[in-house]
Amino acid sequence: MAKIAIVVFEDIAGAMGITVRVYRLVDILKKRGFSISVITSSDNNHAKLAGMDGVHIISLGMKLLTYKSLPFPVKFIPILLWNLKLTLTLLKNKFDVVYCSHEWLGFLPVYLVSKIRKYKVGFDADSIFSKNHEAIGHSGMLLKLDQSLEKFVMKHSDFIITDCNSTLEFYQVFNSRIDVVPLFVDTMLFRATTKPKTPDTKIIGLIGPFDVGREYVRQRTSLEFLYSRLKDFDSRVSFVVIGHCDNRIIHNRVKYTGYLDSVHDYASQLSHLDALLVPERISTTGPLTKLIEPMSCSLPVFTTPEAMLGLEWAKPGRDIFVFEENELVDNINKLIFDDAMMTEIGKNARDVVERYYSKMVNEDKLVRIMESVAGIENDR
């Protein structure tokens, strides 16, 4: 049985894009007979995490790492501790493959220890690292450091998986051992449900988490977009903010779900919506699960061109609504009550997900890559 360790900087109890991808990777690999360990910085008790049964969780007790609002010089202390603990963990265990889930800051010990423990090093590049940092304000020497780290990671990985062709094209100049496995969803879980028609009122969702204590710029700006333009929306439209949210307002048209305990609760929340709003201001350089999951539920999504980078198989106007930020509100007001149009967009969205972003379509390719790297003969 091949042993795979997945290294993820974020707390896997959280529902960020990176951790969602980890859960789906774990779900597929453990069902195909791999022995899975997840190495995480969290110090939480993960014994009862849904979907992690049979998985060896190695918590390094580094919760401080999750506080990204720490002053820049102070960040080096927990990062150094994380690298030290990660090194010791990798030296003490035997793995066939160590797979870094967008784990840039811990890649160096993973690579160095591989020379001693003789495992293969994989990397999941869910977006373009330097482009993301440039978009949030990195420049000068800091940006050059980002680019140097990015180049080192790409050149020294035994294999790389990206989630879209644009990321692959950017990184394949550094490494030819690279392939695309798109973000994928369980279309049996995320699916359309029958709900009563309410022609006079509509509910639009925004997906978090919205944590003002972290540097999640995109999430904060989405919430700011709603609050600043709330009065401009049709009075018959109300909003549900899904996930953790620190910055709440008291308003009869805005409700908050708070943190959701399970993916089933999340899917249930989506089923009660009429549409989803994703008003991105920063180019993501990688597809967003918060677009694909609602689309799988046949929910029409209203978004901006910045959110569309990497979502290569969805066509604006056919599968998803895409408008410039200053045009979003007027177009939502115009289209949200056109039930025929909304139904058609939702159906087309579901078709795109089933064809390109479903678990069924992508899991065999992912397993074949892992088997090849781990040296497993594939007789299928």
Q: What is the CATH number of the domain that holds 144?
A: 3.40.50.2000
Residues 228, 315: one domain? yes
Mind listing the pLDDT tens digit of every residue in the chain (380 residues)?
Answer: 899 999 987 766 655 556 778 888 888 998 889 999 999 876 555 545 666 778 888 888 765 544 455 555 666 777 888 899 999 999 999 999 999 998 898 999 999 999 999 999 999 998 888 988 887 778 899 899 999 999 999 999 999 999 888 899 999 999 999 999 988 899 999 998 877 777 789 999 999 888 755 445 556 688 999 999 999 999 999 999 998 888 899 999 999 999 887 888 999 999 899 999 999 887 765 667 889 999 999 999 999 998 888 788 999 999 999 999 999 999 999 999 999 999 999 999 999 999 999 999 999 999 999 999 988 655 44
Position 312 in a domain: yes
The verdict on 153 and 225 lying in the same domain is no
Query: Is 278 a member of any domain?
Result: yes
Shared domain for 169 and 236, answered yes or no, is: no
Instruction: Flag whether 22 is in a domain.
Output: yes
Whether 129 maps to a domain, the answer reads yes
Q: Do both 224 and 367 map to the same domain?
A: no
368 shares its domain with 339: no
Q: Do residues 11 and 47 both lie within one domain?
A: yes
Check whether residue 10 and residue 110 sit in a common domain: yes
Query: In terms of residue numbers, what domain contains 208?
Result: 202-357
**Can you give the chain as a three-state secondary structure string?**
CCEEEEEECCCCCCCCHHHHHHHHHHHHHHHCCCEEEEEECCCCCCCCCCCCCCCEEEECCCHHHHCCCCCHHHHHHHHHHHHHHHHHHHHHCCCCEEEEECCCCCHHHHHHHHHHHCCEEEEEECCCHHHHHHHCCCCHHHHHHHHHHHHHHHHHCCEEEECCHHHHHHHCCCCCCEEECCCCECCCCCCCCCCCCCCCCEEEEEECCECCCCCCHHHHHHHHHHHHHHHHCCCCEEEEEEECECCCCCCCCEEEEECCCCHHHHHHHHHCCCEEEECCCCCCCCCCHHHHHHHHCCCCEEECHHHHCCCCCCCECCCEEECCHHHHHHHHHHHCCCHHHHHHHHHHHHHHHHHHHEHHHHHHHHHHHHHHHHCCCCCC
Domain membership of residue 196 (yes or no) is no
The reply to whether 353 and 364 lie within a common domain is no
What's the number of domains the chain is made of?
2
